[in-house]
Amino acid sequence: MTAPSTNTAKPATGILALLKTAFINALVALVLFSLMVGIRTEAGSSGQLTYWTRFGELASLVAIVFGGSIVIELLRQWIGPTGAEKLVPPALQSGMSLIGRYLTPALLIFTLLVPVIFYDQRYILDLAILVLTYVMLGWGLNVVVGLAGLLDLGYVAFYAVGAYSYGLLATNFGWSFWICLPLAGILAAFWGVLLGFPVLRLRGDYLAIVTLAFGEIIRLVIINWQELTGGPNGVSGIPRPTFFGIPLDNSDEGFAARLGIEYSPTHRIVFLFYLILALALLTNWVTIRLRRLPIGRAWEALREDEVACRALGINTTTTKLTAFATGAMFGGFAGAFFATRQGFISPESFTFQESALVLAIVVLGGMGSQLGVALAALAMIGGFELFRGLETYRMLVFGMAMVLIMIWRPRGLIGHRAPTVFLTKAQAISSDLVKEGHG
Partner 1 sequence: MNGDKILTVDRLTMRFGGIVAVQDLSFDAERKKITALIGPNGAGKTTVFNCITGFYKPSAGAIRLAHDDGRVIALERLNDFRIAKQAKVARTFQNIRLFPGMTALENLMVAQHNALMRASGFTLLGLVGAPGYRDAEKRAIDLATDWLRRVNLLDRADDAAGNFAYGDQRRLEIARAMCTEPALLCLDEPAAGLNARESAALSELLLSIRNELGTSILLIEHDMSVVMEISDHIVVMDHGVKIAEGTPREVRDDPKVIAAYLGADEEEAVAVMESGT
Binding footprint of partner 1 on the chain (CB under 8 A): 286, 289-290, 293-295, 297-298, 300-301, 304-305, 307-316, 322, 417, 419-427, 429-430, 433-435
Q: How far is the CB of 290 from partner 1 (least distance, A)?
A: 7
49 vs 307, beta carbon nearer partner 1: 307
126 vs 304, beta carbon nearer partner 1: 304
76 vs 303, beta carbon nearer partner 1: 303
Q: How far is the CB of 363 from partner 1 (least distance, A)?
A: 17
Q: How far is the CB of 423 from partner 1 (least distance, A)?
A: 4
Under 8 Å CB-to-CB from 101, ≥6 apart: which residues?
Answer: none
Mapping DSSP onto H, E and C, the string for the chain reads CCCCHHHHHCHHHHHHHHHHHHHHHHHHHHHHHHHHHHEEEEECCCCCEEEEECHHHHHHHHHHHHHHHHHHHHHHHHHCCCCHHHHCCHHHHHHHHHHHHHHHHHHHHHHHHHHHHCCCCHHHHHHHHHHHHHHHHHHHHHHHHHHCCCCCCCCHHHHHHHHHHHHHHHHHHCCCHHHHHHHHHHHHHHHHHHHHHHHCCCCHHHHHHHHHHHHHHHHHHHHHCHHHHCHHHCEECCCCCCECCECCCCCCCCHHHHHCCCCCCHHHHHHHHHHHHHHHHHHHHHHHHHHCCHHHHHHHHHHHCHHHHHHCCCCHHHHHHHHHHHHHHHHHHHHHHHHHHHCEECHHHHCHHHHHHHHHHHHHHCCCCHHHHHHHHHHHHHHHHHHHHHHHHHHHHHHHHHHHHHHHCCCCCCCEECCCCCCCCCCCEECCCCCCCCC
Q: How far is the CB of 407 from partner 1 (least distance, A)?
A: 23
Q: How far is the CB of 289 from partner 1 (least distance, A)?
A: 6
62 vs 147, beta carbon nearer partner 1: 147
For residue 43, what is the DSSP state?
A: E
Element spanning 197, H or E: helix 177-199
61 vs 325, beta carbon nearer partner 1: 325
Q: How far is the CB of 425 from partner 1 (least distance, A)?
A: 6
179 vs 426, beta carbon nearer partner 1: 426
Q: How far is the CB of 299 from partner 1 (least distance, A)?
A: 10
Please say whether the beta carbons of 343 and 238 come within 8 A: yes
Q: How far is the CB of 277 from partner 1 (least distance, A)?
A: 21
25 vs 287, beta carbon nearer partner 1: 287
The residue length of the chain stands at 439
216 vs 300, beta carbon nearer partner 1: 300
290 vs 339, beta carbon nearer partner 1: 290
Q: How far is the CB of 292 from partner 1 (least distance, A)?
A: 8
